[in-house]
Amino acid sequence: MNRLELIGLFLVAGIFSGEIQSAPLYFRTATRASVCFSAGNVPKEIKDFYNSKLPTEEKARWVERISVSEAKSLYQSLECVHRLRLSKEEKILLLSDYGRYRETRELLYSFYENHLLSEEKTIRFSATEEKEVRTFLQSKRELLNRLFDAEALSLSEEPLPLESFTNLYLALLLQHWEFFQTAPEFLKESVGD
């Protein structure tokens, strides 16, 4: 697996990790809020999800469970930050640190997009497949931006309701699953690496 595929897999892993300690919100900050974030781990569940032969109904339950788990993990971090009652200066610094984190994530996603749309890949796509990949990437970027906006708003004010985050994670997971169903085989193979 080359470096860009690995970056893409880490991005996907960040979305698909399913254990509470996975901490979907983890970034460096010089504020007291650093105690609210943990790097967690990336469970084997990600690879199992794609490669399992479970019936569709069971995968649907799996997606829901992972979405709830991710949302709870994120929400725990947001509530922890809120309970600290950061000063105005600390909040400004926290949001500045979050801004750098978001820029890094967006840059990594751009590398992921460029990798999937590189000439090495697009030559192998049919016109329909290339259109589907572009649509998937654009939709995913929109959903990630909604998630980033919800995180930023929750860090600056009260945390949004847990259901908001659950729905965003569910949308991302379902989008990935639907794309995976129709993705060209050479892309599916890289998920299993």
Residue 3 banded pLDDT, cuts 50, 70, 90: very low
In this predicted model, which residue has the larger pLDDT, 5 or 152? 152
In this predicted model, which residue has the larger pLDDT, 13 or 75? 75
End-to-end CA distance of the chain: 7
User: Are the beta carbons of 62 and 108 closer than 8 angstroms?
Assistant: no
Tens of pLDDT, residue by residue over 78-124, are 999 999 999 999 999 999 999 999 999 999 999 989 888 888 777 88
pLDDT > 70 in the chain, percent: 79
Nearest to 190 by CA among 121, 110, 98, 96: 121
User: Are the beta carbons of 32 and 49 closer than 8 angstroms?
Assistant: no
Structure tokens of 10?
Answer: 């880490």
Amino acid letter, 144? L
Q: What is the pTM of this model?
A: 0.80
Q: Residues 6 or more apart from 112 whose CB is under 8 A from it? A: 4, 7, 8, 11
Stated length of the chain: 193
In this predicted model, which residue has the larger pLDDT, 145 or 177? 145
| Average pLDDT score, the chain | 82
Tens of pLDDT, residue by residue over 149-187, are 999 999 999 999 999 999 999 999 889 888 888 888 877
- pLDDT at position 54 is 78
CA distance 169 to 66: 8
The dihedral built from the CA positions of residue 79, 37, 152 and 76, taken in this order, carries a sign that is negative
- pLDDT at position 149 is 97
CA distance 93 to 13: 28
User: Are the beta carbons of 57 and 64 closer than 8 angstroms?
Assistant: no
